[in-house]
Structure 1
Amino acid sequence: MTSQPYRPADIVSPYLLFLGDIEDSVSAKMARAVVIWRPEKAVGQLRMTEQTASVGIEDLSIEEAVARGARTLVIGVANSGGKLPAHWRDVICQAIEHGMDVASGMHQRLDAIEGVAQLAREHGVTLHDIRHSHPPLEVGTGEPRSGKRILTIGTDCSLGKMFSSLALQRGLENAGLKARFRATGQCGVLVAGEGVAIDAVIADFISGAVEWLSPAGDNAQWDIIEGQGSLFHPAYAGVSLGLLHGAQPDYIVMCHELGRPHMRHLPNRPMPDMAECIDANLSAARVTNRDVKLAGFSVNTSQVDEETARRELSSLSQQFGVPATDPIRFGIEPLVAAFTTGAV
């Protein structure tokens, strides 16, 4: 295929990050991704209530943000189902009326909201639907291809696969290796400036989309492919499986959150057994790469104290014979060292 990855370079910054009235901080991951990885692009956040989750930057109204040069209202939320709440429409329209573009990573298209497309035309602004901006794709082939690939996987969804991928890419580059982050989610695409939101791709083309996103390449370069969902989450396992096949990973990095009581949005479904989860992912990945290996663990330990975190990470490392770290709390270096020293 000759098409290029979707590049949201025309999503003009600075951004005003719109958080609606969500109170679940995990759902604010679109805004948080910008604040962590592209902080220079955000002038502030817009929250509808004081109880709304915050990403820790200044609260601004649309008028205040425009006065500071904001060019695009970014919907900073990723919710289950990807539908924009109807009562957010007025804020979106107000931004358009003030001359702002609007960017969304939701499944629901902005132009599907009553009156929004017409209003955008009247004010000469652009609507960006990041999840729906990918080129024509083909089915996967599973043919072996050159290059080195690492895929982040997870015991559940929304527990740090994008963060881990970006941290690993940065860590490898800092260690003098060539590394490229391959975004497969709307947050990653916005941060990286290119990629494919894989959960908006027709199922037949998921593996092909990942083959296209991470094509045959230089054996001296590492492609860090952002994982999605979990093989053990009944809502999102189909996407996870297609990614495993299309990525043709040489290594997988397991992402996990200590203390998570159950699968996200499924209070009656416990978290999977770690050994079973690793075995299932390795088995699925062997469909396209018989030599795939577990490289290590990237674990969110924010819900436990430091002593508990270190003990649990050490236990994982001893049980599976690979490094385990919390990239925020303790740094990504143990995982980077596994690749730079040839330990994996």
Structure 2
Amino acid sequence: MTHPAQLTSYRRILLLTDGYSTPFLAKTAISLLRYRTDDVVGVLDAEHAGQDAGELFGAGHGIPVVDSIVEGTDAVFIGIAPPGGKLPAAWRPTIIEALTRGIDVVSGLHDFLSLDPELTAIAEQHGGTLIDVRKNNEKETATGQPFREGCLRIHTVGQDCSVGKMVASLEIQRELSRRGHDAKFLATGQTGIMISGEGVPIDCVVADFVNGAAERLVRQNDDHDIVLIEGQGSLSHPSFSAVTLGLLHGAAPQGLIFVYEVGRREVKGLDGIELRPFRQLIAAYENAAALRHPCRVIGIAMNGRKVSDEEAAAEKARMESEFGLPVCDVFRDGPGELVDAVIALQQELQR
């Protein structure tokens, strides 16, 4: 389990997205702008310098886009999650400048900066720190032993990658806490870890230890009444289904929130491969999860970012009618209906 305690101590974060400021690539930056707004001093992208982050990303209104490192920055966060997880070569001078100025650099890339001899030497010389959020030492398999009986485990699963599983988990957890419930968000990806300060980078854990890492993440937090376990990948994704199944069996959830994007037809990153029908996916998730622990889908989180309010309302009504489950867009509607479903499941299991 990763516990980079200093991640939540940074109060002047500069997000680096230079040349990669798109929703597809900069989802890490967008989430940090949304959930750590007060800690971000700017977004570094020379092409868009002078704009507002809210104009560029739809989040972080009032935060400037700049073309150089902001004075007083205490950490540069790599704001992208590109396929393959490599550091763009053009960014190296910016990383070196930050380290030379004693500024920490936080990365969620698969390409570990702390293993780069030149960067490590510069950091040591000038007092900066290289933090690779995905770096981990998970080396234990799952035990399959039960969790604390009073801990309700809710897990977000998806139609595909990058549909909003982390956002749904965070929004549900925040609303549960607002209502006075003891609920905690458990991060399983680099962005979630950068937001919450702890978690397991599940897609960078050796395959045999994925279930064990997920199990330990839950066990170390099952003193809470409700845990919201961030989902990864998709059970039907040709590239990333392994981590999805590992999370299902390691975390042993009792309830699932199914997350999808309105209008998405093809698997992300794999042109020409169509997504599976919702009903088939939901059945697959329930059946796979039930091999480890009784489980069912209790609600649907709809990502309607590409449709109008009228189209979103019609989609919500259609999905509710078809599946008989609460459906909501957590940004448009708030997560209230999904939170109600979580509380109802908790009460059901306590009877």
TM-score over 0.5 for the pair: yes
Deviation at 1:60, TM superposition (A): 2.7
Secondary structure at the aligned position of 2:170 is classed as helix
Secondary structure at the aligned position of 1:131 is classed as coil
The answer to whether 1:297 aligns with 2:300 is: yes
Alpha-carbon distance change, 309 to 267 in structure 1, aligned in 2, over 3 angstroms: same
Superposed CA RMSD: 2.0
Secondary structure at the aligned position of 1:181 is classed as strand
Rounded Cα–Cα distance in structure 2 between residues aligned with 1:108 and 1:35: 23
User: What whole-Å deviation, never above 9, does each CA across 1:102-160 have from its counterpart, x for those lacking one?
Assistant: 0000000013446211211221210000000x344410122222221000000100110
Rounded Cα–Cα distance in structure 2 between residues aligned with 1:302 and 1:20: 24
Secondary structure at the aligned position of 2:258 is classed as strand
Rounded Cα–Cα distance in structure 2 between residues aligned with 1:7 and 1:219: 18
Alpha-carbon distance change, 117 to 220 in structure 1, aligned in 2, over 3 angstroms: closer
- Of 56, 61, 65 in structure 2, the residue corresponding to residue 59 of structure 1 is 65
Contact 1:161 1:255 in 2 (8 A): yes
Contact 2:261 2:304 in 1 (8 A): yes
Rounded Cα–Cα distance in structure 2 between residues aligned with 1:232 and 1:202: 20
What 5-or-longer segments of structure 1 have no aligned partner? none
Deviation at 1:325, TM superposition (A): 0.3
Residues 126-141 of structure 1 aligned to structure 2 (within 5 Å): 126-132=129-135, 134-141=136-143
Secondary structure at the aligned position of 2:128 is classed as coil
Rounded Cα–Cα distance in structure 2 between residues aligned with 1:225 and 1:216: 13
The answer to whether 1:329 aligns with 2:343 is: no
Rounded Cα–Cα distance in structure 2 between residues aligned with 1:152 and 1:113: 35
Partner of 2:15: 17
Deviation at 1:44, TM superposition (A): 0.5
Secondary structure at the aligned position of 2:143 is classed as coil
User: What whole-Å deviation, never above 9, does each CA across 1:272-295 have from its counterpart, x for those lacking one?
Assistant: 210011111111111210x20111
Deviation at 1:309, TM superposition (A): 1.1
Residues 213-224 of structure 1 aligned to structure 2 (within 5 Å): 213-215=217-219, 221-224=225-228
- Of 30, 33, 50 in structure 2, the residue corresponding to residue 32 of structure 1 is 30
Rounded Cα–Cα distance in structure 2 between residues aligned with 1:288 and 1:43: 45
Partner of 1:226: 230
User: What whole-Å deviation, never above 9, does each CA across 1:31-54 have from its counterpart, x for those lacking one?
Assistant: 112111111111111013239993
Secondary structure at the aligned position of 2:232 is classed as coil
Secondary structure at the aligned position of 1:314 is classed as helix
User: Which residue type is aligned with residue 339 of structure 1?
Assistant: V
Partner of 1:238: 242
Secondary structure at the aligned position of 2:283 is classed as helix
Contact 1:89 1:113 in 2 (8 A): no
Deviation at 1:8, TM superposition (A): 2.2
Rounded Cα–Cα distance in structure 2 between residues aligned with 1:48 and 1:245: 44
Rounded Cα–Cα distance in structure 2 between residues aligned with 1:86 and 1:218: 42
TM-score normalised to the size of structure 2?
A: 0.90
Alpha-carbon distance change, 20 to 193 in structure 1, aligned in 2, over 3 angstroms: same
Contact 1:148 1:219 in 2 (8 A): no
Alpha-carbon distance change, 198 to 273 in structure 1, aligned in 2, over 3 angstroms: same
Rounded Cα–Cα distance in structure 1 between residues aligned with 2:120 and 2:232: 30
Contact 2:21 2:45 in 1 (8 A): no
Deviation at 1:218, TM superposition (A): 5.8
The answer to whether 1:156 aligns with 2:156 is: no
Deviation at 1:229, TM superposition (A): 0.6
Alpha-carbon distance change, 87 to 274 in structure 1, aligned in 2, over 3 angstroms: same
- Of 99, 103, 109 in structure 2, the residue corresponding to residue 106 of structure 1 is 109
Rounded Cα–Cα distance in structure 2 between residues aligned with 1:48 and 1:203: 39
Contact 2:221 2:227 in 1 (8 A): no
Rounded Cα–Cα distance in structure 2 between residues aligned with 1:240 and 1:262: 18
Rounded Cα–Cα distance in structure 2 between residues aligned with 1:89 and 1:267: 31
Partner of 1:174: 178
Deviation at 1:340, TM superposition (A): 2.8
Alpha-carbon distance change, 318 to 46 in structure 1, aligned in 2, over 3 angstroms: same
Identity value in percent? 37
Alpha-carbon distance change, 341 to 286 in structure 1, aligned in 2, over 3 angstroms: closer
Deviation at 1:341, TM superposition (A): 4.0
User: What whole-Å deviation, never above 9, does each CA across 1:154-200 have from its counterpart, x for those lacking one?
Assistant: 01001101100000101111222211100000000111111111001
Secondary structure at the aligned position of 2:316 is classed as helix
What 5-or-longer segments of structure 2 have no aligned partner? none
Deviation at 1:331, TM superposition (A): 0.8
Contact 2:138 2:213 in 1 (8 A): no
Q: Which runs of 4+ in 1 moved over 6 A?
A: none
Rounded Cα–Cα distance in structure 2 between residues aligned with 1:320 and 1:178: 29
Rounded Cα–Cα distance in structure 2 between residues aligned with 1:145 and 1:201: 22
TM-score normalised to the size of structure 1?
A: 0.92
User: What whole-Å deviation, never above 9, does each CA across 1:204-256 have from its counterpart, x for those lacking one?
Assistant: 00010011000177687011000001011111111111011111000010010
Secondary structure at the aligned position of 1:277 is classed as helix
Secondary structure at the aligned position of 2:231 is classed as coil
